[in-house]
Amino acid sequence: MTAEITIREASDPQRTTALSRVLRSPRTRGGLLLMGLVAVLALLGPLLAPNAASAIVGSPFEAPSFALPFGTDNLGRDVLSRFLWGGRSLIIMSLCAAVIGVAIGAVLGLLAAYVGSWGDLIMMRGMDVLLAFPTVIFALLFISTFGTSVLLLVSVVAIAQIPGTARVVRGASRAAVDGEFVLWARGVGLSTPRILVGEILPTVVSPLMVELGLRLMWAVGALSALSFLGYGIQPPTADWGLMINENRNGLSVQPMAVIPPMVAIALFTVGGNLFAEGVARVIGRTDRKASA
């Protein structure tokens, strides 16, 4: 036990410096910058919008002008104002869905790897059943039954992300379950939650961060797709995915009604992926140095 405590104390400074290394990574800072810019624009956009999101300010599909920098949409509403109003719900809902889905999936994956045997088999077969349903059909099943609401949309997208995360975390933590530090923790009588959180979870931080970035990107795409299909945020509420659907028929006439939300969605998802991948690489290098 004394040797184990000595090893932990020696490795703590390595883990402490991981945060500073993360912040110095160009990939991480680039991803954080992209996400931050889009998030700030989405959160503060309504304060900067020159018009109300649903206000009719001109004829349908007017070209950009000095008074209307992005022109008008299919109903004659100010595209700039709807763009500034439309990002808040998408960003907040995507973050909530990704965090909830990854958190629940990580817990199930850790439990499956730690329990093993029949417990592992039952949980993973349950995840396989969820994976068997196509995501869009799974979402449409609940939406068509219970209607569209923010809570339902977030819940459906979060649930759809649980199986993939659980399988990734379970596979990444299997080696750690048989490690000496876990055997030591069991030997001294630590509770299962303390072993999972304090001993096994730190070993899967790297793949978990990558998974969070991928799931965030997927959540943004899924919620945008549902809005595009008409099953997400409902008009006249402004939403980036809904804007693309409403104005796609006029793309050749007034492309600015579609381009801004498309660019914003792309920048945010790419930034989230870059940030998570940068964090994972830095933590992976730190863990390898600590174990050397």
- pTM, rounded to two decimals: 0.80
pLDDT value for 15: 43
Q: What residues contact residue 34 under an 8 Å CB cut-off, 6+ apart?
A: 267, 268, 270, 271, 274
In this structure, what are the phi and psi dihedrals at residue 68, rounded to the nearest 5 degrees?
-125, 85
Confidence band for 168, pLDDT divided at 50, 70 and 90: confident
Nearest-10 crossing angle of helices 240-247, 205-229: 40
Q: How many residues does the chain have?
A: 292
Q: For residues 249 and 197, give the distance between their C-alpha atoms in angstroms, rounded to a whole number.
A: 51
Confidence band for 234, pLDDT divided at 50, 70 and 90: confident
- pLDDT surpassing 70 at residue 22: no
Confidence band for 119, pLDDT divided at 50, 70 and 90: confident
pLDDT value for 278: 78
pLDDT value for 38: 92
**CATH of the structural domain 25-44+67-291, one choice from 1.10.357.10, 3.40.50.800, 1.10.3720.10, 3.40.980.10:** 1.10.3720.10
DSSP assignment string, 128-184: HHHHHS-HHHHHHHHHHHH---HHHHHHHHHHHHHHHHHHHHHHHHHHHHTSHHHHH
Structure-token pair, residue 267: 């920048």
- pLDDT surpassing 70 at residue 63: yes
Q: For residues 114 and 102, give the distance between their C-alpha atoms in angstroms, rounded to a whole number.
A: 18
Higher-confidence residue of 255 and 146: namely 255
- pLDDT surpassing 60 at residue 18: no
Percent of the chain with pLDDT over 70: 84
Rg over alpha carbons for the chain, rounded to the nearest Å, is 23
Show me where the domains of the chain are located.
25-44+67-291
Q: Are 248 and 258 in contact (CB under 8 A)?
A: yes
pLDDT digits (tens, 9 = 90+) for 70-88: 999 999 999 999 999 999 8
Confidence band for 17, pLDDT divided at 50, 70 and 90: low
- What's the mean pLDDT when you consider all of the chain? 81
Higher-confidence residue of 221 and 18: namely 221
Task: Give me the mean pLDDT over the 33-43 stretch.
Answer: 91
**78 in helix, strand or coil?**
strand
